[in-house]
Amino acid sequence: MTVADPAVLNGRSDSVRGGEVARHVVDVIVPAGIDDPRRPSGGNRYDRRVCDGLRGRGWQVREHAVPGRWPQPEDDAFRALAEVMARFRDGAVLLIDGLIASAAPDVLLPHAIRLRPVVLVHMPAADRSAAAAEREHAVLQTAAAVITTSHWTRHDLLRRYGLGPALVHVAHPGTDQAVPASGSVRGGRLLCVGAVIPGKGHDVLFEALAGLGPRAWTCTCVGALDIEPGFVHRLRRQLRGAGLGGRVRFTGPLGEPELSAAYADADLLVLASAAETYGMVVAEALARGLPVVATAVGGLPESLGRAKDGTVPGILVPPADPRPLSAAIDHWLGDPGLRERLRHAAGQRRETLAAWSDTVAKISAVLIRAGA
């Protein structure tokens, strides 16, 4: 398998503006397809914003997009990664997406002594299996640094693997400034953003919605429908059985303008995930002043945060149980005072969210300490 020239990957050159020589250089290893609009994900958006942001700070960024079904690659993917690793000069600083790094210790560890790998962990591999945890541990303990997207993930890695605290850093995902959503009087326009897969809990959400009785609401579900088609089929059958087929709309993945329009038209973000390391969609909703009802899992409470006055701009409920989720949405729909309070809190919280420039600055500092 042939891997693209490291100087130009994904149509992005590693040249520096104005012909200047870059002070810092980093090679970034990412899964192929991070810019594929059919596969939008928080990890892909994060990787792209970081690469572009480092360039904006004057870095020479050389992207290496490795094909394969990461984090469950085939043999061809390992061979492609091995070809990339063999090209790097001794002492090179690498920023490696954790989907690749945690799956490939046999490829990466032989190079660990001569290179300076920094692993970007979007989602710990340990929850997939004991074997995945063993592979991830082997990679992380030899890394020059580890970057996580939340304090929850950092604590999880420290607890699981006994890594030195100075090794593991946090760079929260940033948000872009956005016009606040106006919101409707009744608050019934619900929005769910995320790939339609079992881990995002759409089945739990729909059962919760079925328990709302005569409340007036609609729900727009934005996210890929072709990753788990069997699950999507079961969801459609669930909706028909509950008589909700006309109130829930699946859009598939949306481009940036369409997604921004979906946020602008919504009253409330609803998220029933079984696990999240941060929850970028929560921060993106808050950037529009949208309150959130979500499960209290992983880094979601961290991304929801608090307004300046300490108010939580949403409601957190236990995972995998439609009853408290239904009660929270019912409370939102039935209490104008609650809607006003949460909208005010979300409006305050949007002013304290990290910007992408903050994210890039933190990662830049970690890479420089690693030797870039």
Q: What is the pLDDT of residues 332-358, one digit of tens each?
A: 999 999 999 999 999 999 999 999 999
Is 180 inside a domain boundary? no
- Residue 146's Cβ-count burial label (10 Å; 0-12, 13-18, 19+) is buried
Q: Is the pLDDT of residue 3 over 80?
A: no
Number of domains in the chain: 2
Check whether 5 has a pLDDT greater than 90. Answer: no
Nearest to 192 by CA among 286, 299, 243, 266: 266
User: Based on the domain organization, do 364 and 337 belong to the same domain?
Assistant: no
Q: What is the mean pLDDT of residues 208-219?
A: 96
pLDDT tens per residue across span 178-205: 999 999 999 999 999 999 999 999 999 9
Same-domain pairing of 277 and 327? yes
CATH of the domain at 339: 3.40.50.2000
Percent of the chain with pLDDT over 70: 94
Give the helix ranges, DSSP H, for the chain. 42-56, 75-87, 98-101, 105-108, 130-140, 151-161, 202-210, 229-242, 256-265, 280-286, 300-304, 322-334, 336-349, 356-370
Write down how long the chain is: 372
Is residue 50 in a domain? Answer: yes
CA 211 to mean position of chain CA atoms: 30
Domain co-membership, 207 together with 306 = yes
Region for 243 from its dihedrals, namely left if φ exceeds 0, alpha if ψ lies in -120 to 50, beta otherwise: left
Same-domain pairing of 294 and 227: yes
H helical segments located in 212-317: 229-242, 256-265, 280-286, 300-304
Task: Assess if residue 1 is contained within a domain.
Answer: no
179 in any annotated domain? no
Tokens of 70: 């990461």
pLDDT exceeds 60 at position 9: no
Residue 182 within any structural domain of the chain: no
* 261 and 301 both lie in a single domain: yes
Quick check: 7 pLDDT over 60? no
User: Angle at the Cα of 313 (from 315 to 263), degrees rounded to 5?
Assistant: 95
112 shares its domain with 259 = no
Domain that holds residue 70: 8-174+354-370
Residue 265 lies in a domain: yes
The bridge status of strand 12-13 relative to strand 8-9 is antiparallel
One domain, residues 166 and 265: no
User: Which range, of 26-35, 126-135, 334-343, averages the lowest pLDDT?
Assistant: 126-135
Q: How confident is the model at residue 21 (pLDDT cuts 50, 70, 90)?
A: low
**What distances in angstroms separate CA 155 from CA 10, 170, 273, 277, 339, one per listed residue?**
34, 10, 20, 11, 33
Same-domain check for residues 139 and 202: no
Residue 157 has pLDDT above 50, yes or no: yes
* Higher-scoring residue by pLDDT: 63, 128: 63
Looking at the structure, tell me whether residues 267 and 290 fall in a common domain.
yes
User: Residue 54 above 50 pLDDT?
Assistant: yes
Let me know whether 216 and 319 are in one domain: yes
Question: Does residue 74 have a pLDDT over 90?
Answer: yes
| 311 found inside a domain | yes
Do 135 and 199 fall within a single domain? no
Question: The tokens of 166 are what?
Answer: 């100075």
Contact 101, 77 (CB under 8 A): no
Instruction: Report CA dihedral (354, 356, 357, 361) to the nearest 10 degrees.
Output: 90
> Based on the domain organization, do 168 and 311 belong to the same domain?
no
Does some domain include residue 3?
no
Q: What does the alpha-carbon distance between residue 343 and residue 338 come to, in Å, rounded to a whole number? A: 8
Residue 74 burial class via C-beta count within 10 angstroms: exposed 0-12, middle 13-18, buried 19 and up: exposed
**pLDDT score recorded for residue 177:** 86
